[in-house]
Chain A
């Protein structure tokens, strides 16, 4: 039986490898500091900006905000760029699609936007707390960490995926109906 290989993830992924390489070279040359792809520190800075608007003194006294510095930096703009790039690419090839509840979620938890929103929100809190504790996410630890053969990257990615597999089985498979 002939099966067609979908090359899409391989090609796009390999091009991310090229992008990461160009990015370390160009950022070293232009900025004097080698920049690696990552995303989760930007969420700390975003939280800092929100809190600053409410209570500036609190942010200025917090050791974590002092360590990570609440500012718009290279990575913050990278995350803004991800939005623009994904929007442009999805509009151009027509794959842009409004979706409130993904099918896999609907199968298990029904069509309620509120339940999906709550799941995404609570999952987001736990995941980001973990990412900051681990000092990185699948981009920073996974992609950039493994490209550099960093020991922390191998440990973190194993834990991300290991706990993800366990939790996904509990959430989407466990109890009747959801298969």
Chain B
């Protein structure tokens, strides 16, 4: 039961922050893909900037474990590209579609229905992909520090600096 409550409370906070960041909207998401409005990039990169410090600190203090998703180059690339193609037309991602309906953009209901159908379709395709595309370039649960043989604390400041420079660029260009 506590699992459900914890998920719900976390979700309520997440939903409120997505809404307050104004990233649930179709025009923001498509605006980013048209390279005209970088609001969702500012939001995501700010979250990553704070979260990568916080999560790695929690791990260093023994308060949490990392759980990176496995790198399967074939599936990550093909799936990632397919996602992008659909994302541009749909104008929402899975998490934001639900929040978009909640703030009144009810056309996102059709996006949700499509995504449930897409998930069902994938469940049928999975047995046929399991032994080919899904094992292509399978490298396990690797992280950047592991691959580069460096501490996460050497990489985090570099990535943080890149993000901050990008923020300055976005603001300078009025994106």
Task: Tell me if B60 counts as interface (CB < 8 A to partner A).
Answer: no
Q: B122: which of A27, A64, A121 is its contact (CB, 8 Å)?
A: A64
A contact residues, range: 35 or more
Q: Which residue of B lies closest to A118 (CB)?
A: B110
Residue pair B119, A8 in contact (C-beta under 8 Å): no
Please tell me the number of chain B residues within 8 Å of chain A, measured between CB atoms. 130
Residue pair A130, B83 in contact (C-beta under 8 Å): yes
Which residues of chain A have C-beta atoms less than 8 A from B75's C-beta? 133-135
Q: A78: which of B11, B25, B52, B117 is its contact (CB, 8 Å)?
A: B11
Distance from A109 Cβ to chain B, minimum over Cβ atoms (Å)? 10
Task: Tell me if A171 counts as interface (CB < 8 A to partner B).
Answer: yes
Q: A139: which of B4, B93, B130 is its contact (CB, 8 Å)?
A: B93
A102 to B133, CA, bound (A): 36
A85 to B20, CA, bound (A): 10
Which residues of chain A have C-beta atoms less than 8 A from B22's C-beta? 8-9, 12, 95
Interface positions of B from 63 to 81, Cβ below 8 Å from A: 63-73, 75-81
Tell me how many residue pairs across A and B have CB atoms closer than 8 Å.
Answer: 537
Residue pair B79, A134 in contact (C-beta under 8 Å): yes
A11 to B49, CA, bound (A): 12
Q: A82: which of B18, B30, B81, B86 is its contact (CB, 8 Å)?
A: B18
A171 to B55, CA, bound (A): 38
Task: Tell me if A24 counts as interface (CB < 8 A to partner B).
Answer: yes
Residue pair A135, B76 in contact (C-beta under 8 Å): yes
Q: Which residue of A lies closest to B90 (CB)?
A: A123
Distance from A163 Cβ to chain B, minimum over Cβ atoms (Å)? 3
- Residue with the greatest number of chain A CB neighbours at <10 A, chosen from B52, B125, B129, B142: B52
Residue pair A149, B111 in contact (C-beta under 8 Å): no
Q: Which residue of A lies closest to B74 (CB)?
A: A133
Distance from B93 Cβ to chain A, minimum over Cβ atoms (Å)? 5
A39 to B110, CA, bound (A): 17
Known: A50-B120, A87-B103, A152-B72. A165 touches B35 (CB 8 A): yes
A83 to B97, CA, bound (A): 9
Which residues of chain B have C-beta atoms less than 8 A from A116's C-beta? 107, 110
Q: A86: which of B24, B31, B115, B117 is its contact (CB, 8 Å)?
A: B24
Which residues of chain A have C-beta atoms less than 8 A from B51's C-beta? 16-18, 20-21, 143-144, 147
Interface positions of B from 83 to 133, Cβ below 8 Å from A: 83-95, 97-108, 110-127, 129-130, 133
A40 to B118, CA, bound (A): 11
Distance from B49 Cβ to chain A, minimum over Cβ atoms (Å)? 6
A164 to B34, CA, bound (A): 9
A34 to B6, CA, bound (A): 12
Would you list the 7 A-B pairs with minimal beta carbon distance, nearest first? A81-B11, A124-B114, A17-B50, A163-B84, A85-B15, A159-B80, A21-B54
